[in-house]
Amino acid sequence: MKSAIIGLGVIGKVHYEVLRSEGEDIVALCDVDFDKLGEYEDVKKYYDYKTMLDVEKLDVVHVCTPHYLHAEMVIYALQKGVNVLCEKPLCINEKEIENILAAEKASSAQLGVCFQNRYNNSSIFAKEYLKGKKIESASGTLKWHRDEAYYKSAPWRGKLATEGGGVLINQAIHTLDLLCWIVGMPKEVEGVTSNVSLKGVIEVEDTVKATYFGEQDFSLFATNTSCQDMPIELRFLAENEQIVITPDSAEINGKTVDLDKAPKSLGKASYGGGHRALIHDFYDCVKNGKKFWIDGEEGVKALRAVLATYHSNGKRFEI
């Protein structure tokens, strides 16, 4: 497969390492930062993604750029008939969602969204174990540390117009996606966001608390104000059993479940080890003409819940 990556920041490097390990043919890289491109040899380098997509005959392009650039790049690639694997979030507003889904429907190519935590052994266990059970309650908790230095590491971070939000759309969207996937897509949300410790540093929230209402209600608490990154926890109460999962562990009523060894993490440990499995799966689908399961419609479910949470402002809001 002939591949290219747009954006060689933190997450773009993870995609690059996975593609190398999978033996795919990385024919081109694109970034507006010359220094980032200078790290790579034996590959064509571009500073303009449209030029790259116009010139190269690609099977797959990976979109790993800042959030606000995702929509235009995904749409352009789909219009060129190039399969796209896009990092989360797929975009940052409702209009972009509809434009992307229309482009996906009109394209001969596939669109995949990177929700790699669905590939964690613990997530798969919870999904299968809870199938058919009556879930009485569910919740997700994210307590991570993102300080001023983190937000100043790139000019797009912490700004509403370029990041689309804060901890919810950037970090906790993965946790929200798992809850939507395991419990079911909610219909309404009541949530509040706040800036607890980064006032004057960022325009967006560093903390969010929300309750989601549907066939099964669930809650989410996420903050970037923790002293250090703590393991994400998802808790479920079902038929007198309490199931607790982290990215690499699972418990039932306090007893550890014997999971297969979790995949090795690439990049930050908090990313989990799912990128390799997700990318492998996406490429397998493209190669064999199968439909990738986290497509545009599936990939915007958690995003719709995120955007509705921002609109909620403490009141019930329809998703």
At 171 the pLDDT is 97
Instruction: Give the rounded distance of the alpha carbon of 236 from its chain centre.
Output: 22
User: Is the sign of the CA dihedral 102, 292, 87, 40 positive or negative?
Assistant: negative
Whole-number average pLDDT of the chain: 94
Gap between the Cα atoms of 72 and 189, Å rounded: 29
Domains of the chain with CATH codes: 2-114 (3.40.50.720), 117-262+296-318 (3.30.360.10)
Provide the angle, in degrees to the nearest 10, between the axes of the packed helices 94-106 and 301-312: 160
Q: Which residues, in sequence order, are CB contacts of 222 under 8 Å at separation 6+?
A: 140, 141, 142, 143, 167, 168, 171, 172, 175, 207, 208
pLDDT of residue 261: 52
pLDDT of 9 strictly over 70: yes
H helices of 216-265, where? none
Q: What's the token pair of residue 243?
A: 């199931």
pLDDT for res 273 = 67
Supply the pLDDT for residue 34. Answer: 84
User: What are the tens digits of pLDDT across the range 115-170?
Assistant: 999 999 999 999 999 999 999 999 999 999 999 999 999 999 999 999 999 999 99
The DSSP 8-state label assigned to residue 89 in this structure reads P
pLDDT digits (tens, 9 = 90+) for 73-127: 999 999 999 999 999 999 999 999 999 999 999 999 999 999 999 999 999 999 9
Residue 263 has pLDDT above 80, yes or no: no
Amino acid letter for position 118:
R
Helix residue ranges per DSSP H, the chain: 10-22, 34-37, 49-55, 70-79, 94-106, 121-129, 148-151, 160-163, 167-170, 173-183, 274-288, 296-299, 301-312
Does the pLDDT of residue 266 top 60, yes or no?
A: no
Q: Residue 39's pLDDT is what?
A: 86
In this prediction, residue 265 carries a pLDDT of: 42
pTM higher than 0.85:
yes
Residue 12 pLDDT greater than 90, yes or no: yes
Selection from 154, 145, 173 nearest residue 65 by Cα: 154
* 238, two tokens: 């079902």
pLDDT at 271 over 50: no
Name the residue type at position 9: G
**Residue percentage of the chain with pLDDT more than 90:** 92
Q: Which of 37-41, 85-89, 135-139, 287-291 has the lowest mean pLDDT?
A: 37-41
3-state secondary structure of 113: strand
Buried b / exposed e over 245-283, threshold 16 CB at 10 Å, is bbbbbbebeeeebeeeebbebbeeebbbbbbbbbbebbb
